């Protein structure tokens, strides 16, 4: 039987319009992640870049370092890091259309600090001990075997290098039937096979040889952003459903909106939290 849910390629190829024009509105660099609200940022556009600042500060990223963005989306974090932290950034992604968009953006910016490669972060085409920092923002969720990412991260990090990541983390395994249902209704249309607990992420890192230096629950800082997506999607769904009948909106985009509603419901049900993890080689 044919899988009713999209894979990563299909998901991002069909939802690019939504990320560019609905979530990012008039921003030039398209952020495929949530916003971080604090005393430094309270407007949606500002909170998207603020997420980059918080992760960069957490990792202690310094000018001149070499950073790998594992699952770089449309390159927002890569360009932000190059501009604001003066580092050399390589972004990798398995979605060809996104890599092409990243390369086009890099050419228009005339920057030599950023480059991109179509590659899998669970099987990286890089030599050992190459990067000072590995950056992963809401990307490892797409891996079917998340432990494989941690093993690769350890391999390509220099001694003393850091892994910093922001990720959706389930609050238990298993959860109640209701919570598991909400998680599936959110994750599968987003091409996410499953999410793991914070304890599982720490175990993967430690088994790979990394030392977990810090684990933060920052759900409170991203909840406004999550609620914004819920509200946008709830308002759009009736129109999207009508447009789907005349085939102006496809099943992936419609499923994306429905899943966005379920994501916030799953959060309110206590099924998951938003975590940040820092690990050191």
- Tokens, residue 101: 């968009």
Q: CA gyration radius for the chain?
A: 18
Supply the pLDDT for residue 110.
Answer: 84
Supply the pLDDT for residue 3.
Answer: 52
Supply the pLDDT for residue 58.
Answer: 98
Answer whether CATH 1.10.10.60 is correct for domain 8-280. Answer: no
10-residue mean pLDDT profile of the chain (281 residues): values are 78 95 85 97 96 98 98 97 97 97 92 96 98 98 98 98 98 98 98 98 98 98 98 95 92 96 98 98 98
Find, among 279, 18, 10, the residue nearest to 161 by Cα.
279
Who's near 80: CB < 8 A, 6+ residues apart?
Answer: 29, 49, 52
Tell me how crowded residue 250 is: count the other CB atoms within 10 A of its CB. Answer: 16
Who's near 136: CB < 8 A, 6+ residues apart?
Answer: 69, 70, 71, 121, 149, 163, 164, 165, 166, 167
Please name every residue paired with 217 in a beta bridge, in sequence order, or none if there are none.
275
Find, among 33, 52, 279, 55, the residue nearest to 151 by Cα.
279
Supply the pLDDT for residue 1.
Answer: 35
Q: CA distances (Å), 121 to each of 92, 241, 274, in order? A: 7, 35, 21
- Tokens, residue 225: 């952003």
**DSSP secondary structure, 39-63, as one string:** TTB-SHHHHHHHHHHHHHHHHT--T
CA distance 253 to 30: 18
């Amino acid at each position: 039987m044919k899988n009713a849910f999209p894979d990563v390629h299909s998901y991002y190829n069909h939802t690019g319009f939504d990320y560019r024009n609905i979530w990012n509105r008039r921003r030039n660099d398209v952020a495929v992640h949530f916003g971080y609200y604090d005393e430094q940022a309270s407007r949606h556009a500002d909170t998207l870049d603020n997420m980059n600042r918080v992760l960069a500060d957490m990792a202690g990223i310094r000018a001149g370092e070499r950073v790998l963005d594992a699952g770089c989306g449309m390159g927002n974090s890569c360009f932000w890091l190059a501009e604001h932290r003066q580092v050399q950034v390589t972004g990798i992604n398995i979605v060809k259309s996104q890599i092409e968009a990243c390369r086009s953006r890099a050419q228009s910016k005339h920057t030599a600090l950023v480059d991109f490669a179509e590659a899998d972060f669970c099987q990286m085409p890089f030599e050992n001990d190459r990067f000072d920092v590995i950056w992963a923002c809401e990307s490892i969720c797409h891996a079917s075997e998340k432990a494989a990412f941690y093993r690769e991260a350890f391999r390509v990090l220099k001694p003393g290098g850091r892994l910093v990541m922001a990720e959706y983390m389930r609050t238990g395994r298993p959860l109640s039937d209701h919570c598991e249902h909400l998680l599936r209704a959110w994750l599968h249309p987003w091409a996410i096979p499953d999410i793991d607990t914070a304890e599982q992420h720490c175990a993967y890192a430690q088994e790979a040889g990394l030392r977990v230096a810090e684990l933060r629950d920052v759900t409170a800082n991203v909840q406004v952003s999550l609620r914004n997506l819920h509200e946008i999607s709830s308002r759009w769904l009736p129109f999207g459903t009508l447009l789907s009948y005349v085939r102006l909106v496809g099943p992936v985009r419609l499923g994306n909106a429905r899943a966005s509603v379920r994501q916030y419901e799953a959060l309110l049900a206590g099924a998951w939290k938003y975590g940040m993890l820092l690990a050191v080689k």
